[in-house]
Amino acid sequence: MQTAATVATMATMAGRFEDDAGTVVEKKSQVRPKKPRLYKVLLHNDDYTTRDFVVYVLTSVFHRAEPEAVQIMLHVHYNGVGIAGVFTREVAETKITAVERMARESEYPLRLTMEPEEDDDR
């Protein structure tokens, strides 16, 4: 028979067991780390940055395969803005900084921004 005290003990001991020395050991983490918010890195069109440079950025920094990089570049060229990738905040910021530095070194005005994704269950 399970008394209220037994049930309470079972709940307390969930995910734990006693080893041979009588020490209570955590079998499984009781904490559930929350999912980090994700950010879309947006690529913006301009009239001066070359198509080749944008494709180079998408392959080298955003790890897109060449045909996909060309598709994204053309989408931005015709629609004004497009998604280069989706990352955690720090990674998104680091990639934007890296691309801005590359663009300025080549004297291109290429612009990137980031915006948070809608949080479904966070």
Which spans of this chain sit near ligand TYC (rule: CB under 6 A)?
Answer: 43-47, 49-51, 54, 73, 76-77, 110
Closest to ligand TYC by CB, 77 or 91: 77
Closest to ligand TYC by CB, 45 or 71: 45
Question: At its nearest, how many Å lie between ligand TYC and the CB of residue 56?
Answer: 12
Question: At its nearest, how many Å lie between ligand TYC and the CB of residue 82?
Answer: 7
Burial of 49 (0-12, 13-18, 19+ CB in 10 A): buried
- Burial 82-118, CB ≥16 within 10 A → b, else e: bebbebeeeebeebbeebeebbeeeebebbbebeeee
Question: At its nearest, how many Å lie between ligand TYC and the CB of residue 94?
Answer: 19
Q: Which residues pair with 80 in a beta bridge?
A: none
Closest to ligand TYC by CB, 31 or 62: 62
